[in-house]
Amino acid sequence: MSLIWSKNDGPERPMGREIPRNCGQLLGRLDELLPFLYVAQYGAPGRALRAQRTVSHPGLFAVGEQTQGDRPGIAPRVGLILPLRLCRNEKTRAALLEIAPLIGSQDPLMLADERRLVQSKLDAAFGGNLTVSDKERLDGFFALEPRRGLFQQLHEEFDYVTAVIDNPAGEVRVTESSRFPWRSHGELLEWYHGLGNGRGNAWAPFVPFFVFGNTAALTRYCTDRWAHAGLTAPAEDPSKWFVIRPDLHDADVGVRLEMGEYGWAYLHLILGATAVKIWLSQVFDPFDELVAWGRKIEEGDIPVQMEIDEEGAEKVLTVLRTDDSNRVLFRVAEKYADDIQLEGIVSRAALAASLKAELRRFFSSEFDPNHWDEEEADEDYVQTRDRVLNHPWMVAA
């Protein structure tokens, strides 16, 4: 089973290089690991994706899930990998290895039988300690519901991967593994949050996944976004071909930011009577680009465009020239889809001023670093609030 490369990586494969790692995002193909149980958390903080070595807590590997549905894309997970081949109980291993061939029916009438057969194999392996959720879609990467005795059995029968040789252009090779040491979910949570991985007072649970496919790497796209290389100058230039109708007035423009939890915030953009809500992810932190985008608008350095990755869907925010340098065409669209969600003529100064004012308000009174910033950051890491509020454009009147 091969890793699915992100659509954002372009046509060229990454250069081959061997990367020893005991944590962080796996970039190579996972053939040697599949199938595996993945005891992981939904989402992943930026440091969990960027990390390569840890002294005290090896084995926290990030794997992307290729998601479908209304928000297709790549969803990062971070957790512990338990390859079935490292299971010490032959009966358990044999039952679990029979699951993947049962999944994949295209006949809706067969789906109930498929779920029943998968559950029977889980029962044979875990005796009722692991069940299929009624709401979970069965594919190559699906979540399961644990019962109380699961972690004790994992401790008795499974090893987990603690070190690998990664290769973005090749396969991931396991170099070290260790016995799964946690006898309960609580023990695992205490170990994990001892790293400072808690968000506020909430401890997100670990979820067991069964993985035999649908994996994906964020790879170079992540790196580009963390480098804040997301601003572009689109070739589109309506000022060359059109003039604004004399009776067309500027639409009222509004910007509102809202703090969420566990690495999420929300950007509300309003144009006249139409509004759109954009999910902002800490994994693809957009705030530096948002500030740079606003500065270019204020200075008239347009056209300018930025993308916001919602951990799946991507929104494209575009500002284009018109025949009047003080008025711009503002557009919000869904990337890879013919879906314009906002579009209208607005005052260039009003758009820039609304964004700057809301960034100041949000980071002065509402932004919660406990739900966004890295708690174990590198020495040169600058907190998001400080980066935004101390930016020259934000400091200027």
Sign (positive/negative) of CA torsion 178, 183, 188, 190? Answer: negative
CB 295 within 8 A of CB 277: no
Structure confidence at residue 13 (pLDDT) = 46
Token pair 């979910």 is at which residue?
A: 185
Q: Give pLDDT, residue 127.
A: 94
Tell me the pairing of strands 23-25 and 264-271. Answer: unpaired
User: Dmax of the chain from CA atoms?
Assistant: 79
Cα 56 to Cα 53, 195, 314, 325: the distances in Å are 10, 9, 36, 57
Half-sphere exposure at residue 360, Cβ-oriented, CA atoms within 13 angstroms = 13
Looking at residue 345, what is its pLDDT? 95
217-260 residue pLDDT tens: 765 444 444 433 458 888 888 888 889 999 999 999 999 999 99
Token pair for residue 384? 């998001």
Task: Tell me how far apart the alpha carbons of residues 282 and 2 are, in angstroms, rounded to a whole number.
Answer: 28
Q: How far is CA 272 from CA 242, 255, 294, 320, 330, in A?
A: 22, 12, 20, 18, 12
What is the per-residue pLDDT for 70? 57
Q: Which two tokens stand for residue 115?
A: 């779920």
- Residue 387, classed as helix, strand or coil, is helix
Burial class of residue 205 (count of CB atoms within 10 Å of its CB; 0-12, 13-18, 19+):
exposed
- Is the pTM for the entire model greater than 0.95? no
CA-CA distance, 319 to 234, in Å (whole number)?
Answer: 9
Amino acid at 102: L
pLDDT in tens, 175-227: 999 999 999 999 999 998 875 554 444 578 999 999 999 888 765 444 444 43
Which residue numbers in the chain have pLDDT < 70?
1-16, 45-51, 68-72, 105-109, 195-202, 218-230, 374-381
**Which residues, in sequence order, are CB contacts of 5 under 8 Å at separation 6+?**
13, 216, 217, 219
Grouping H, G, I as helix, E, B as strand and the rest as coil, residue 283 is: coil
Strand-by-strand arrangement of the 314-321 sheet = 304-309, 314-321, 327-334, 339-347
